[in-house]
Structure 1
Amino acid sequence: MLKDLPQNKVEDVAIAVALEAENVESKVWYVYLINLKNQEIENALITSRGYGYKDGEEVKTSTLRHVFPKVEARSFALIEPIDEQTFGLNNEYWLSYYIKDQIFDKKFIFLPESIVESNFIRLPVLNKPGVMIR
């Protein structure tokens, strides 16, 4: 049955972790879905979870689910805030969405310690500093 599903390639869609604000005490981070396409995407479903090892022990975060009925062309949707304490874990975002009647899906994984200032870019559409996976 799996072989009967179309292999639609996800292009021009990204998940980004953006630095929203910072002060002496802390930094505020948010995760975004960025639609870089010239057409809207519909019924976007994102599951997010963190997993890995911290101090030698296995750690798993709760799995969260987010739904966006429509993300306009060349725009974004705020998925969730993210805590800096999870940056040492794998942070996984599994995205499924529709364009007309075709379904697309892709898994985006921010590896441990990949959300660091040396990897920052100016995020397209958001115009904020952060890390992005396309």
Structure 2
Amino acid sequence: MLKDLSKNIVEDIAVAVALEKETPESKIWYVYLINLKDQPIENVLVTSKGYGEKDGEQVKTSVLRHMMPLVEAGASALIEPIDEATFGLNNEYWVSYYIGKDIYDKKFIFLPESIVDSNFIKLPVLNKVGVMIR
């Protein structure tokens, strides 16, 4: 039965952590969903959570859920702001969406200390600097 299910492979979808604004005192970061496809995605659900170890203790953040009715082709959607204090944790974003009647889902995980200057790229669609997982 499992072999009869179609394997809907997620392609051309990315989650990015972008540096939004920088002042001498602080940096403001946002997480975006980027649709690199040539078609829109619909009924997008993103769950986010952080987990890992900090100062020898296991830490978990709250699970947040975000809904986007539509993300156009070649566009982005804001998921949430993110605090630099969580960059030492695993930051997980589970994305589910529809194209027509087919559902797709994929987990994107920013590993601890992966959101650092040495990993920055110019993010497509957003034209900002940050880290992206495809």
Q: Aligned partners of 2:66 and 2:2: how far apart in 1?
A: 25
Tell me which residue corresponds to 2:133. 133
Tell me which residue corresponds to 2:60. 60
The number of aligned residues is: 134
Tell me which residue corresponds to 1:30. 30
Q: Aligned partners of 1:79 and 1:2: how far apart in 2?
A: 32
Tell me which residue corresponds to 1:78. 78
Percent identical among aligned pairs is 76
Unaligned runs of 5+ in 2: none
Instruction: Say if 2:96 is the partner of 1:87.
Output: no
Shift of 1:6: 2.4
> Is the partner of 1:62 in helix, strand or coil?
coil
Shift of 1:82: 0.0
Query: What RMSD over aligned residues (CA atoms) do the two structures have, in Å?
Result: 1.0
The C-alpha deviation readout for 1:59-96, integer Å capped at 9, x for no partner, is 00000000000000000000000000000000000000
Q: Aligned partners of 1:120 and 1:101: how far apart in 2?
A: 36
Stretches of 4+ moved more than 3 A in 1?
1-5
Instruction: Say if 2:11 is the partner of 1:11.
Output: yes
> Is the partner of 1:88 in helix, strand or coil?
coil
Tell me which residue corresponds to 2:119. 119
The C-alpha deviation readout for 1:84-112, integer Å capped at 9, x for no partner, is 00000000000000000100000000000
TM-score (norm 2): 0.97
TM-score (norm 1): 0.97
Q: Aligned partners of 1:24 and 1:45: how far apart in 2?
A: 35
- 5 Å matches for 1:101-116? 101-116=101-116
Tell me which residue corresponds to 2:48. 48
Unaligned runs of 5+ in 1: none
